[in-house]
């Protein structure tokens, strides 16, 4: 077989098949590999021209079909399977070849694999791919980091297949080591937060304003035409209007869907690592916790019978909608601020050399958290590349100041009426704490010194102090 294919991809599930077809659509010949003969056959059938797209179940045949240096991307589940695929490739590839992990691998695993493969002369890098199955086919946001030389060889392909924002490709080399996988992890953490907030506002509108699914569809559609323009608000508006095929096409498929939300772990990883770094991301933390609470369906149902809940005092629909739009915008800003703060700190801790403005730029199209807001975020970090937090950017103070009041009103209203708004509440509490000159943590310092002699610092003089609190 001639060494004729420009790009190889292992893992021909929906994401992999769509990505490889995207590569072929953009003028690069591509060869796929999967252990499942049906997936191989499906790709070959959809690809049509075997000179453009081909596939096999045999690893040796797959590797031999690729031009050198071989550019091989994996789109397989995170974990041991990634190591297994790498080991299966090693007997067949040569020094200078390139392996790319396009899955959601934990960043320390990527560092380990890069070091292992570098010893064998193989370029390796992680590249987060966001946009779901449709994004993989039509143009995702891609977040590569690791071997700069390896990325340079793949750069023309990635720039061709990625989403475009005003003509700019939504992909950029982000930094050394596991920078790409880390950025994708935090992207997913932000995604958890935005999804939680979007669902809370939906719940509030239904319970507090008796909004029908059709009215919710119209409202979210209107919001998506304004400053809340985003992929998640857009698809949410469409979800509200989806009819239930199992109920004679009645409007309201959403009402028949279980309220137990699943997760794959990237949101949890974001929260865990933020705690390791000492960076507060409470809007993301609570989004992870709420998925865990949602899984306790039987316990929740029983607990609901044990306690009285206030009768919801209805609010005027137009007033509620206005407050909800402002509160959602405020909490979106706060959630992005937390995630980007984590990225900036991780960059220092792990030596990633991240440019936050570049990250915001490649998130403007293609990815799940794409939003009009990211154009403003890009501008904020371009104006100050040492910006510690989005909330202190002059470009955002007015946006926040004009919407935080609505968040306060809705959190108070929801608390009085027994409607859970944990994402919005955490966003508001984070904002109030972050913008407070004085917090009550002086008492915690005193308590720690009292029971553990942990010492404390004073406001009026330098040094470390300890007090014998009991006479």
Check the annotation: does 52 bind a ligand: no
Check the annotation: does 192 bind a ligand: yes
Final residue of a structural domain among 147, 173, 199:
173
Is the residue at 167 inside a domain? yes
Q: Are residues 88 and 16 in the same domain?
A: yes
How many structural domains comprise the chain?
Answer: 3
- DSSP-derived secondary structure letter, 261: -
Q: Are residues 12 and 146 in the same domain?
A: yes
Q: Are residues 156 and 65 in the same domain?
A: yes
Q: Are residues 274 and 374 in the same domain?
A: yes
Final residue of a structural domain among 173, 192, 219:
173
Q: Are residues 406 and 319 in the same domain?
A: yes
Cα–Cα nearest to 173, from 145, 193, 206, 199: 145
- DSSP-derived secondary structure letter, 178: T
Q: Are residues 431 and 455 in the same domain?
A: no
Q: Are residues 418 and 450 in the same domain?
A: no
Specify the pLDDT at position 302.
97
Check the annotation: does 187 bind a ligand: yes
Q: Are residues 461 and 418 in the same domain?
A: no
Indicate which CATH number applies to the domain containing 168: 3.40.50.720
Is the residue at 178 inside a domain? no
Check the annotation: does 264 bind a ligand: yes
Final residue of a structural domain among 105, 140, 173:
173
Tell me the two tokens of residue 241. Answer: 């209007």
Q: Are residues 37 and 167 in the same domain?
A: yes
- The total of other beta-carbon atoms located within 10 Å of residue 417's CB is 17
Q: Are residues 422 and 449 in the same domain?
A: no
CA distances from 431 to 125, 381, 405, 407 (A): 36, 19, 12, 11
Q: Are residues 84 and 139 in the same domain?
A: yes
Residues of the chain with pLDDT below 70 are: 1-3, 249, 251
CA angle 228, 231, 234 (to 5 degrees): 70
Is the residue at 1 inside a domain? no
Q: Are residues 389 and 457 in the same domain?
A: no
Tell me the two tokens of residue 378. Answer: 């890009």
Check the annotation: does 448 bind a ligand: yes
Specify the pLDDT at position 35.
93
Q: Which domain holds residue 357?
A: 184-435
Q: Between 317-350 and 282-294, two packed helices, what is the crossing angle to 10 degrees?
A: 110
Specify the pLDDT at position 1.
47
Check the annotation: does 132 bind a ligand: yes
Is the residue at 179 inside a domain? no
Is the residue at 416 inside a domain? yes
Catalytic residue list: 184, 191
Specify the pLDDT at position 47.
81
Is the residue at 161 inside a domain? yes
Check the annotation: does 461 bind a ligand: no
Taking the model in full, what pTM does it have?
0.94
Is the residue at 20 inside a domain? yes
Specify the pLDDT at position 132.
87
Is the residue at 2 inside a domain? no
Indicate which CATH number applies to the domain containing 325: 1.10.1040.10
Indicate which CATH number applies to the domain containing 454: 1.20.5.320
């Amino acid at each position: 077989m001639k060494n004729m294919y420009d790009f190889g991809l292992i893992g021909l599930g929906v994401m992999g098949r769509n990505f490889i077809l995207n590569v072929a659509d953009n003028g690069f010949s591509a060869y796929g590999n999967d252990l499942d003969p049906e997936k191989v056959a499906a790709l070959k059938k959809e690809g049509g021209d075997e000179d453009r797209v081909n596939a096999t179940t045999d690893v040796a045949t797959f590797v031999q079909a690729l031009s050198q240096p071989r550019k091989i991307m994996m789109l397989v589940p995170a974990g041991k399977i990634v190591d297994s695929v790498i080991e299966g490739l090693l007997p067949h590839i040569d020094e200078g070849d390139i392996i790319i992990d396009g899955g959601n691998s934990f960043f320390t695993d990527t560092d380990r694999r890069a070091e292992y493969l570098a010893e064998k002369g193989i370029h390796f890098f992680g590249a987060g791919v966001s946009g779901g199955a449709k994004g993989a086919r039509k143009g995702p946001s891609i977040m590569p980091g690791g071997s700069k030389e390896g990325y340079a060889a793949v750069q023309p392909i990635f720039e061709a297949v990625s989403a475009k924002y005003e003509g700019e490709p939504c992909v950029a080399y982000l930094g050394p080591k596991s920078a790409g996988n880390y950025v994708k992890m935090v992207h997913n953490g932000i995604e958890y937060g935005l999804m939680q907030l979007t669902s809370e506002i939906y719940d509030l509108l239904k319970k507090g304003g008796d909004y029908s699914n059709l009215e919710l569809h119209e409202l979210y559609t209107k919001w998506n035409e304004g400053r809340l323009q985003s992929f998640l608000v857009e698809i949410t508006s469409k979800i509200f209007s989806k009819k239930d095929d199992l109920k004679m096409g009645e409007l309201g498929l959403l009402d028949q869907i279980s309220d137990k939300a699943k997760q794959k772990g990237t949101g949890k990883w974001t929260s865990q690592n933020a705690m390791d770094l000492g960076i507060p991301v409470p809007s993301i933390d609570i989004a992870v916790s709420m998925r865990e609470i949602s899984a306790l369906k039987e316990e929740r149902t029983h607990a609901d019978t044990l306690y009285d809940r206030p009768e919801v005092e209805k609010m005027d629909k137009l007033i509620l909608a206005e407050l909800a739009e402002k509160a959602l915008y405020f909490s979106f800003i706060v959630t992005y601020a937390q995630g980007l703060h984590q990225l900036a700190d991780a960059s220092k801790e792990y030596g990633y050399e991240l440019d936050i403005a570049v990250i915001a730029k490649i998130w403007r199209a293609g990815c799940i958290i794409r939003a009009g807001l990211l154009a403003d975020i890009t501008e904020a970090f371009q104006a100050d590349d040492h910006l510690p937090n989005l909330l202190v950017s002059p470009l955002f103070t007015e946006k926040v100041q004009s919407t935080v009041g609505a968040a306060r009103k809705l959190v108070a209203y929801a608390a009085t009426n027994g409607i859970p708004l944990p994402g919005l509440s955490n966003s508001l509490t984070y904002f109030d704490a972050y913008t407070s000159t004085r917090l009550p943590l002086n008492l915690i310092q005193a308590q720690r010194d009292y029971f553990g002699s942990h010492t404390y610092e004073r406001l009026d003089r330098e040094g470390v102090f300890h007090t014998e609190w009991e006479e």
